[in-house]
Amino acid sequence: MKKAKKILKSSILVGALSLLLSANGWSKDGSLTEISRPYLGEYKCESLYFNGEDKLGDFEYFKLEIRSGGEMKLLFKEKDKKEKCVDLTYEYDETKKEFTVKSQFGVFKKEEKVPFENGKLTALLRLGGKQVVIKFGK
């Protein structure tokens, strides 16, 4: 009888521990998701400058979704226009705290380094010979 109680207690403990871990950011394959990759999620554009001009007001929204598996999406909607989505890929360097964001448009490939500090991303780009500064935050 004591042995059966010990087995029951052990089973309950293991079950409770499993529920606790699954509810706190562990994935099914046993790796940590939220803790090991805290950068995952949606980021809203806080500022958008094109050639020194503030362009954020031209958009209903401008956001970035960072997903697991190296997948990233840039979603934006200009006022009175349809939503657009740009599929991107990324690699994250934990030691440098920066993303290497890659895009491809037809045969053209582009790669940019984007620092990630204090939950914010700041991209400095050249587009058509003009400077673009985009800041994202959660």
**Under 8 Å CB-to-CB from 126, ≥6 apart: which residues?**
132
Averaged confidence pLDDT in the chain: 80
pLDDT of residue 111: 92
Phi-psi region for residue 59, left (φ > 0), alpha (ψ -120 to 50) or beta?
Answer: beta
Is 60 exceeded by the pLDDT of residue 30? no
Is 60 exceeded by the pLDDT of residue 9? no
Q: Percent of the chain having pLDDT more than 70?
A: 74
pLDDT of residue 38: 84
DSSP code of residue 30: S
Least confident of 23-27, 49-53, 76-80: 23-27
Phi, psi of 19 (to 5 degrees): -65, -40
Q: Which of 117, 118, 119 is nearest to 138 (CA)?
A: 119
The predicted-structure confidence for 81-111, as pLDDT tens digits, reads as follows: 999 999 999 999 999 999 999 988 777 788 9
Least confident of 13-17, 41-45, 87-91, 103-107: 13-17
pLDDT of residue 31: 47
Least confident of 27-31, 34-38, 107-111: 27-31
Q: What is the mean pLDDT of residues 60-67?
A: 96
How many Cβ atoms from other residues are within 10 Å of residue 92's Cβ?
A: 17
pLDDT of residue 1: 55
